């Protein structure tokens, strides 16, 4: 599908973009970690297997839960100049709703700004180990930003569609970005910006472009696809619909680029899409039978409720709308 052009940006958009780029530089100074943790990118002490090219966390020992996986394991994938620390809050959200540690995993790529081939190589090894460790045939994958196209590229390049049950893309440049095209045309395509060529929005004009190949079928395989985008995301200036995938359930919330990952509304959506259950029912919160509580309790603003308003807040009562 073609990405629709959004409205031109005003001063507030450029302030948000400048703030986003400043945050990217701060993370780069911390070796790609938002919280400046003590773990090297390729450290494997938080994983139950040995690694060389990547790090991350997961498993019952790391999360201090009982062993075993009754649900489809979830694999979280970070974006540019980030790491697995981005997903700690999501892990808490899931474990507070009856997920076990063997059902929650997050990768840290060896580089803060990996190429798509490097992401595919490392994801293939990581997910293979998750499957071996848990005995699961399939996983749910949740990516943010660069991790979204990294996941899609891996699934298609390595023909791993049968390894994935659910795909959730948060603020992914599935149809490129105007800013990436500008960077690529001006030669800004190294280091933190090495993905500029891959994520340019004019990819359909170029011969044999990898994003054009990836988008020949945007939702392949027997996989449930979901995307979430922010209506205040400066990275999608003039290409607001880029994160949406044809054939997916595409939802927009009032959030910026990081807010699409960090907001409570996002966590609620991700949980529901991965588990197939509401995040606030009694069975998930208290381990009680649903019959004891009557109808399942749901958060304000039903999923896909296009009649909801355009505000969002930390209480989870923020509104959202389908795209």
Complete DSSP assignment for 222-237: S-EEEEEEETT-GGGT
pLDDT bucket at 35, cuts 50 / 70 / 90: low
Which whole number is the average pLDDT over 154-178?
98
Is pLDDT of 142 > 50? yes
pLDDT attached to residue 117: 98
Residue 27 pLDDT class (50, 70, 90 cuts): low
Does any domain span residue 1? no
CB 144 within 8 A of CB 63: no
**Is residue 4 a part of any domain in this protein?**
no
CA-nearest of 235, 116, 243 to 174 is 243
- How many structural domains comprise the chain? 1
CA angle at residue 41 from 38 to 42, to 5 degrees?
A: 115
Residue 5 has pLDDT above 80, yes or no: no
Query: Would residue 105 count as lying in a domain?
Result: yes
pLDDT interval class at 9 (50, 70, 90) = very low
Please answer whether residues 71 and 17 qualify as being in contact, where contact means their C-beta atoms are separated by less than 8 angstroms. Answer: no
What CATH code is carried by the domain that includes residue 216? Answer: 3.40.50.1820
User: 24 in a domain, yes or no?
Assistant: yes
Pairwise CA distance, residues 314 & 230, whole Å: 15
87 in a structural domain = yes
The reported pLDDT for the residue numbered 23 is: 64
pLDDT value of position 37: 78
Q: Range of 300's domain? A: 11-322
> d(Cα 144, Cα 215) in Å, to the nearest integer?
18
Cβ atoms 252, 323 nearer than 8 A: yes
pLDDT in tens, 242-263: 999 999 999 999 999 999 999 9
Measured CA to CA, the distance from residue 281 to residue 130 in angstroms comes to 28
| Average pLDDT rounded to a whole number, residues 96-103 | 97
Q: Give a yes or no: residue 56 inside a domain.
A: yes
List of residues 6+ apart from 256 with CB closer than 8 A: 16, 20, 230, 232, 233, 234
CB-based burial, 122-131: b 16+ in 10 Å, e otherwise: bbbebbebbb
Residue 3 within a domain: no
5 found inside a domain: no
């Amino acid at each position: 599908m073609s990405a629709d052009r959004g409205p031109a940006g005003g001063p507030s958009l450029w302030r948000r973009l400048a703030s986003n780029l400043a945050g990217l530089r701060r993370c780069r100074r911390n070796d790609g970690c938002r919280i400046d943790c003590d773990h090297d990118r390729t450290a494997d002490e938080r994983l139950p297997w040995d690694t060389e090219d990547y790090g991350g966390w997961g498993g019952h020992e790391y999360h201090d839960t009982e062993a075993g996986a009754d649900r489809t394991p979830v694999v979280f994938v970070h974006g540019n100049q980030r790491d697995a620390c981005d997903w700690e809050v999501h892990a808490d959200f899931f474990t507070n709703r009856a997920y076990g540690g063997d059902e929650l995993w997050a990768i840290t790529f060896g580089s803060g700004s990996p190429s798509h081939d490097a992401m595919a190589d490392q994801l293939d090894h990581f997910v293979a180990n998750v499957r071996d460790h848990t005995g699961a045939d399939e996983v749910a994958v949740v990516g943010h930003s660069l991790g979204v196209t990294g996941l899609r590229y891996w699934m298609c390049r390595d023909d791993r569609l049968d390894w994935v049950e659910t795909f959730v893309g948060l603020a992914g440049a599935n149809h490129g970005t105007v800013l990436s095209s500008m960077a690529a045309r001006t030669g800004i395509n190294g280091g933190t910006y090495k993905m500029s060529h891959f994520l340019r929005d004019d990819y359909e004009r170029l011969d044999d472009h990898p994003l054009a190949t990836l988008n020949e079928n945007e939702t392949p395989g027997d996989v449930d696809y979901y995307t979430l985008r922010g209506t205040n995301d400066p990275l999608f200036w003039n290409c607001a619909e880029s994160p949406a995938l044809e054939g997916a359930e595409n939802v927009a919330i009032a959030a910026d680029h990081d807010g699409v990952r960090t907001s409570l509304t996002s966590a609620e959506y991700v949980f529901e899409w991965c588990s197939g259950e509401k995040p606030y029912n009694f069975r998930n919160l208290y381990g009680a039978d649903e019959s004891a509580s009557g109808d399942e309790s749901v958060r304000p603003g039903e999923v896909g409720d296009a009649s909801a308003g355009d505000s969002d807040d930390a209480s989870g009562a923020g509104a959202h709308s389908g795209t």
